[in-house]
């Protein structure tokens, strides 16, 4: 019994230590992401740090016993389906010369916009008169987020979340939210609520813009460098979560 308790204590302590390291690395990535976003770091330095941090985050995840990674995928908005995606058959994805390292000054539209029923632009579903939960498409760890935004900000993404999916080496970007309910270092399951639909962001706030989620997926190469991919095929595989 004594030996069992010693092993259990060692196991719990090891988990707590690894979890603390993971949180620290994710907070460091969050800071890096902000520097990139605001063009406060040279691109070569940013690329080197980006690659190193994601490699370290993946290593820390491998040490945690509570991390269960499955291949489940969910549509990222509760109560909605593929018909809410803008354009036709994924043609809203127009990457152009998009680069993550251009930050807030990036070009192209390497994403899919997913719209809700919101004629009065109160960020709530017109039919159910409720906030629309944003769901994590996959299991992963929150590596960056921005919980604050005001109408005088030039930030295009508004309140956003970045989630790293270690199984597929995807980075998911969920932008224009009203409320963020996760923080860097949090492990999220596929289908877990991470925020609420909103209209935050320099352009998304404007009256001309219908209320939508801006969803981008970046694929990491063997050097942990991000390249945009069309999220539409991934969205097609997502399970649906109904209101009731």
Three-state helix/strand/coil letters over 160-183: EEEEEECCCCEEEEEEEEEEECCC
pLDDT confidence of residue 129: 95
Task: Calculate Rg over the CA atoms of the chain.
Answer: 19
CATH architecture for the domain at 82-236: Distorted Sandwich (2.70)
pLDDT confidence of residue 65: 73
pLDDT confidence of residue 26: 98
Query: Measured between alpha carbons, how far is 179 from 200 in angstroms, rounded to an integer?
Result: 9
CB atoms closer than 10 angstroms to residue 84: 19
Tell me which residue of 183, 189, 175 sits closest to 71, measured CA to CA.
189
- Which positions ≥6 away from 96 have C-beta within 8 Å? 107, 108, 109, 110
Structure tokens at 162: 């970045």
Residue 181 exposure: Cα atoms within 13 Å on the Cβ side:
12
Q: What are the pLDDT tens digits along the chain (244 aa)? A: 544 333 333 334 445 656 889 999 999 999 999 999 999 999 999 999 999 999 999 999 999 877 777 889 999 999 999 999 999 999 999 999 999 999 999 999 999 999 999 999 999 999 999 999 999 999 999 999 999 999 999 999 999 999 999 999 999 999 999 999 999 999 999 999 999 999 999 999 999 999 999 999 999 999 999 999 999 999 999 999 987 6
Q: Answer yes or no: are the C-beta atoms of 135 and 240 closer than 8 Å.
A: no
**So where are the chain's domains?**
2-61, 82-236
């Amino acid at each position: 019994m004594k030996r069992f308790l010693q092993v259990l204590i060692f196991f719990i302590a090891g988990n707590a230590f690894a979890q603390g390291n993971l949180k620290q690395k994710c907070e460091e990535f969050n800071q890096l992401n902000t520097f990139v976003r605001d063009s406060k770091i040279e691109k070569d330095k940013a690329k080197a740090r980006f690659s190193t941090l994601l490699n370290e985050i993946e290593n820390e995840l491998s040490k945690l016993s509570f991390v269960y990674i499955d291949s489940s995928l969910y549509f990222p908005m509760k109560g909605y389906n593929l018909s809410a995606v803008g354009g036709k058959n994924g043609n809203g994805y127009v990457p152009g010369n998009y680069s993550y390292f251009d930050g807030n000054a990036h070009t192209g539209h390497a994403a899919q916009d997913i719209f809700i029923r919101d004629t009065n632009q109160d960020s709530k579903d017109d039919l159910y008169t409720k906030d629309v939960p944003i769901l994590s498409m996959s299991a992963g760890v929150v590596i960056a987020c921005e919980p604050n935004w005001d109408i005088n900000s030039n930030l295009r993404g508004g309140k956003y979340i970045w989630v790293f999916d270690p199984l597929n080496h995807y980075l998911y970007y969920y932008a224009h939210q009203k409320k963020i309910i996760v923080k860097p270092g949090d492990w999220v399951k596929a289908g877990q609520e991470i925020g609420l639909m909103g209209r935050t962001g320099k352009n998304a706030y404007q009256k001309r813009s219908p209320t939508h989620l801006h969803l981008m997926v970046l694929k990491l190469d063997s050097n942990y460098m991000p390249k945009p991919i069309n999220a539409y095929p991934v969205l097609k595989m997502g399970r649906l979560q109904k209101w009731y």
